[in-house]
Structure 1
Amino acid sequence: MPVQPILRFPDPCLRQAANPVTEFGPRLAALAEDLLDTMRAAPGIGITAPHLGILERLTVIELPDEKRVRIYVNPRVVWSSHDKREHVEGSVSMPGATETVERPARVRVAFQTLEGAEETEEADGLLAVCLQHEIDQLDGIFWIQRLSRLKRERLIKRFQKRS
């Protein structure tokens, strides 16, 4: 499948909530393949349909130490731990910009497969970080909104100088 152009910060589409997927089939599977190819080319470890300007609740994650592609349709966090963890995050829409974000250490996510089957998954470590980051994106929360105002403003200035 072809690599698609990725929207760049501060595109307003990156702050819009995505619509639930209601139709499952070849078009959705093709979009997931486009997301995977685009993410690998970026490079990145997670991407959502809104990164391509498509406001649908679909995300693809491929962690560096795994040979497994994870596809989540209509994902949502249904539980998160009280304990927190810090991790350096970034975005394919803001290449080269990274900052430490604090999030719950563990989550349980409900989602659908490409075929529409309902599933749940518990995650910790990098997968938990990625799931929360990408689900935020699907909810219209760009990752830098999780930073303090001062950190966010500094990061934006550094990014604009490089762009």
Structure 2
Amino acid sequence: MEVVTYPNPVLKTKAKPIKEINNEIRQIAEEMLEAMYDARGIGLAAPQVGLSIRLMVLDVTGEKTGERVFINPYISEEKGETLEEEGCLSFPDVMGKIIRSQYIKVIAYNLKGEKLEIEAEGLLGRAWQHEIDHLNGCLFIEKMTPASTIANQPRLKELELSYQNNKAGIS
């Protein structure tokens, strides 16, 4: 399982809800955790590995100590604002300042089908918002400050050209 990069169209597609938690979903979640750790990330949504389903994994420790799998997550409450720099595994070498909610409450399900209510702030809250955006087909570059957008234009053009060349079979 590999992380897909911008501008792959799956990244802009709203992911479909998971109707049944079965062995296939568990296997996908396990492979997503491996892919996240291999890429040295702290979160990964299924669209980032080419799957348009509402599944995400998180471990803001990055050390396999806080790994969690979440199914059909959504934000039920948001408060405040904070401006911080973010990156994304689907956007190598792109960093930008993003305004996010300071506090969020999330509703999701675990692999046992148990409903979870999670409150988050700081890095965990930011990671939740980032990954749920992926599930909704929203990219972090769409939320960057104008200065960050301008600063990242050359790198985004490189990624677009590389994607087109790969599709055309040009190295």
Question: Which segments of 5 or more consecutive residues in structure 2 lack a partner in the other structure?
Answer: 163-171
* 3-state secondary structure, aligned to 2:93: coil
Query: Does 1:155 pair with 2:149?
Result: no
1:35-114 mapped onto 2 (5 Å cutoff): 35-64=32-61, 67-81=65-79, 83-114=80-111
AA aligned to 1:34 is E
1:116 maps to what in 2? Answer: 113
Q: 1:127 aligns with which of 85, 108, 124?
A: 124
Report the TM-score when normalising by structure 1: 0.91
Q: 1:29 aligns with which of 2, 15, 26?
A: 26
Taking a change above 3 Å as real, the CA distance of residues 59 and 113 of structure 1, as seen in their structure-2 partners, is same
Q: Is the 8 A contact 2:41 2:62 kept in 1?
A: no
Q: How many residues matched?
A: 159
Q: Is the 8 A contact 2:76 2:106 kept in 1?
A: yes
Percent identical = 30
AA aligned to 2:84 is H
Q: Computing the radius of gyration over CA atoms, which structure comes out larger, 1 or 2?
A: 2
CA RMSD, 1 decimal: 1.7
* 3-state secondary structure, aligned to 2:92: coil
Shift of 1:85: 1.0
AA aligned to 1:28 is I
AA aligned to 2:108 is F
Q: Is the 8 A contact 2:97 2:148 kept in 1?
A: no
Shift of 1:84: 0.8
Question: Which segments of 5 or more consecutive residues in structure 1 lack a partner in the other structure?
Answer: none
1:8-19 mapped onto 2 (5 Å cutoff): 8-19=5-16
2:167 maps to what in 1? Answer: none
Q: Is the 8 A contact 1:25 1:115 kept in 2?
A: no
